[in-house]
Amino acid sequence: MIKEDIKSIKELLSSPKKIVLIPHKNPDGDAIGSTLGLLHYLNKYKHDAVIIAPNDYPDFLKWMPGESTVLKYDQQKDVCDKWLVSAEIIFTLDFNSLGRIGEMESVVAKTEAIKIMIDHHQQPETYAKFMYSDVFMSSTCEMVYNFIDMLDDTDKIDEAIATCLYTGIMTDTGSFRFPSTTSATHKIIGNLIEKGANNSQIHNNIMDTNSYERTQLLGRALSNLKIIPEYRTAYITLTQEELNTFNFKKGDTEGFVNYGLSLKGIIFAAIFIESQQDQIIKISLRSKGDFSVNELSRTHFQGGGHTNAAGGKSDLSMNDTIDKFISILPQYKKDLKA
């Protein structure tokens, strides 16, 4: 972010404003962590600020400080629309395209509010007046830390802010192991622990809240896991019927895709999850090395994300989606064949 922009934003935030913070649809730890972290920071300046999430998120995020104040657009449209049309500033966090906020898109696109984007996804759209976009960052939470730092305000980071930012960095880096994790990331994590983030407690809150049914669903996912060794590819399917059998709840399938990637020799993993409600197959893609699942998702599955982690969807049936998936692999043989 350039110095001029920081100066303008500092000026803008120097008097109380009406502010809305927005994470992407189906928000993850980084989306909720970054919006909450920034909310706690803005509250120090007596702004009238609120987070509006397009929809709900998994229970394993619901312990975060301030979480109960998050409005959900799909549950409280009227209240949310009032906030959106009267907002002076809108922060959009952890997404690169207004298409990622679902039904909120049209309202947000029309508002007069000054928009500020903080995000690390590839190919960002240019709807925001101020853009802090950096695809090399581990997480939006790391960027919110940097943003506060650029505003010369790291001394304002308290336990609540530190806890939220730690959580998002941890979840987006697979507990600090993905290649996007840098020494700068670790330094920031160190600072956040000094400010009061309880690392061990946060890991417990996120990782060790499995229900018995989720663990059984994981068992089903693993027995559905297939590999295509010649393309170093693994994939998992879960039908709506299987989800129902194990009383699926939002977030239950988080991380399942990584089991495919953990197999020796596998560099590309996918999970296909049927959603009867949305009439789609929701797809998560992961890779190792230079193979870009962002590109593959953009080209074939109406999605995107990062080089090594992307999402997308298919309007075909599960079987047809898998057929399509297998049929496109030869296009990537240069990257995928050993």
Residue ranges that bind Mn ion, judged by CB under 5 A: 30, 94, 140, 172
310 binds, options Mn ion, ligand 5GP, none, Cβ within 5 to 8 A by partner type: ligand 5GP
* Residue nearest to ligand 5GP according to CB distances in the complex: 311
Site for ligand 5GP in 17-46 (CB under 6 A): 24
DSSP code for 257? H
Q: Could you tell me the CA-to-CA distances from 88 to 19, 121, 277 in Å, in that order? A: 6, 25, 35
Q: Cβ of residue 318: shortest distance to ligand 5GP, in angstroms? A: 17
What is the amino acid identity at position 35? T
Q: Are strands 18-23 and 89-93 parallel, antiparallel or unpaired?
A: parallel
119 and 93 Cβ atoms separated by less than 8 Å: yes
Single out the residue of 54, 58, 65, 304 in contact with ligand 5GP (rule: CB under 6 A): 304
- Per CB under 6 A, does 303 bind ligand 5GP? yes
CB closer to Mn ion out of 17 and 120? 120
DSSP H helices, 102-237, are 105-110, 140-150, 159-172, 183-194, 199-207, 212-224
Find the part of the chain contacting ligand 5GP (CB under 6 A) among 66-74, 140-148, 230-238, 300-308.
300-308
Binding mask 92-121 for ligand 5GP (x = CB under 6 A): -----x--x---------------------
Q: Could you tell me the CA-to-CA distances from 156 to 5, 42, 152, 186 in Å, in that order? A: 21, 10, 9, 20
Q: Cβ of residue 320: shortest distance to Mn ion, in angstroms? A: 30
* Residue nearest to Mn ion according to CB distances in the complex: 30
Residues near 335 by Cβ (< 8 Å), separated by ≥ 6? 290, 291
Single out the residue of 305, 308, 325, 336 in contact with ligand 5GP (rule: CB under 6 A): 305
Q: What is the residue whose two structure tokens read 């399509």? A: 324
Residues engaged in binding ligand 5GP (CB under 6 A) = 24, 97, 100, 284, 303-306, 309-312
